[in-house]
Amino acid sequence: GAVVSQHPSRVICKSGTSVKIECRSLDFQATTMFWYRQFPKKSLMLMATSNEGSKATYEQGVEKDKFLINHASLTLSTLTVTSAHPEDSSFYICSVSHGNYEQYFGPGTRLTVT
Amino acid sequence: AQTVTQSQPEMSVQEAETVTLSCTYDTSESNYYLFWYKQPPSRQMILVIRQEAYKQQNATENRFSVNFQKAAKSFSLKISDSQLGDTAMYFCASVYTGNQFYFGTGTSLTVIP
């Protein structure tokens, strides 16, 4: 399967600041990446679909101005949480689309906003 | 709307025994894939098994097998000879055209030594 990395694995930031999370596809070019959010002991919630070279598609209820997604290359997508607040604390997971119906997941990033 | 339902929030099994996790889904699509993912305490999502809807034969991967009942829209996972390393959250997922995954709410499985 594909290898997907995320950086950082853990981040703590102060309320009101912004934080960027990187998702990299290490061994193939990914035209589509996905960003998920997961609360403790809950399922993955799709936030947005990131397409290389175009604007991301956000799921209903996800603020696009708060969760900025940039997919500038075929191997890198970034999620920036702007003006973070404690309620944004969560586990964020990216995945890359490989062929039809396949997704490979990154190891996740734990964000804590104090 | 595409929905995936896992009706067992928590399950436990004795080591070396067999356990079955349930999953049902709802779709009007004719072409789709079904997956079981494992999420251990590390939180890394690991693909356990995959089933193509057009294939009647149930998928198997070593100790893991599925019972795919297309008419009933059921996709259960059987884990044989359970091992301590199988302790994890298990998510059932479906995907259709466009690659968007629909996840169930998960089943927390504990293997008891």
pLDDT for position A60: 93
The answer to whether A46 contacts B47, with C-beta atoms less than 8 Å apart, is no
**Which of B5, B57, B6, B52 minimizes the C-alpha distance to B29?**
B52
Q: Phi, psi at residue A87, to the nearest 5°? A: -70, -10
pLDDT for position A100: 62
- A97 and chain B: CB distance < 8 Å anywhere? yes
Whole-angstrom distance, CA of residue A54 vs CA of residue A73? 10
Whole-angstrom distance, CA of residue B112 vs CA of residue A86? 36
- If you measure CA to CA, which chain A residue comes closest to B41? A41
Interval B66-83: pLDDT, tens: 999 999 999 999 999 999
Beta bridge partners of B77: B21, B66
User: Does residue B99 surpass a pLDDT of 90?
Assistant: no
Instruction: Kindly state the percentage of chain A with pLDDT values over 90.
Output: 75
User: Does residue B28 surpass a pLDDT of 90?
Assistant: no
Mean pLDDT of A33-39: 94
User: CA dist A11 to A14, A23, A80, B37, B63, Å?
Assistant: 10, 14, 12, 26, 37
Interval A58-112: pLDDT, tens: 999 999 999 999 988 889 999 999 999 999 999 999 999 876 677 899 999 999 9
